A = this chain, B = another copy of it.
Amino acid sequence: MARTDKTEAPARGRPRNHRTHGAIITAANEILSEQGFAALSFEGLAARAGVSKTSIYRRWSSKGELLLDLYMSEVSEPPEVPGRSFPEALEEYLMLTVVRLETPWWSVAIRSLVAEAQSDEALAKLVRQKVVGPRRAAVRKLMIQAFKQGELATSADIEVLLDMLFGAMWYRLLLSHAPFDRRFVSDLVDGFMDMAGAG
Give the B-binding residues of A (Cβ under 8 A).
Answer: 36-38, 111-112, 114-119, 124, 127-128, 132-133, 136, 154-157, 159-161, 163-172, 174-178, 187-188, 190-192, 194-196
Contact = CB atoms under 8 A, between A and B. Distances in A.
Given A37-B119, A127-B175, A167-B169, 13 more contacts: A112-B118, A118-B174, A132-B177, A154-B195, A156-B191, A159-B178, A161-B191, A163-B168, A164-B167, A164-B192, A170-B170, A170-B174, A170-B175
B172 A136 contact: no
A36 B119 contact: yes
How many copies of the shown chain assemble into the complex? 4
10 contacts: A37-B119, A112-B119, A114-B174, A157-B187, A160-B168, A161-B191, A164-B167, A167-B167, A171-B171, A195-B196
Q: Which 4 pairs between the two chains have the least Cβ-Cβ distance?
A: A167-B167, A156-B191, A167-B171, A167-B168
A199 to B, nearest CB: 13
B164 A132 contact: no
A188 B162 CA distance: 11
Contact of A165 (B124, B156, B164, B196): B164
A118 B115 contact: yes
A32 to B, nearest CB: 12
Contacts of A114: 115, 118, 174-175
Contacts of A190: 156
A115 B119 contact: yes
A168 B168 CA distance: 7
B163 A188 contact: yes
A121 to B, nearest CB: 9
Contacts of A118: 111-112, 114-115, 174
Contact of A172 (B116, B156, B163): B163
Give the residue among A116, A159, A164, A169 with the most B Cβ atoms within 10 A.
A164
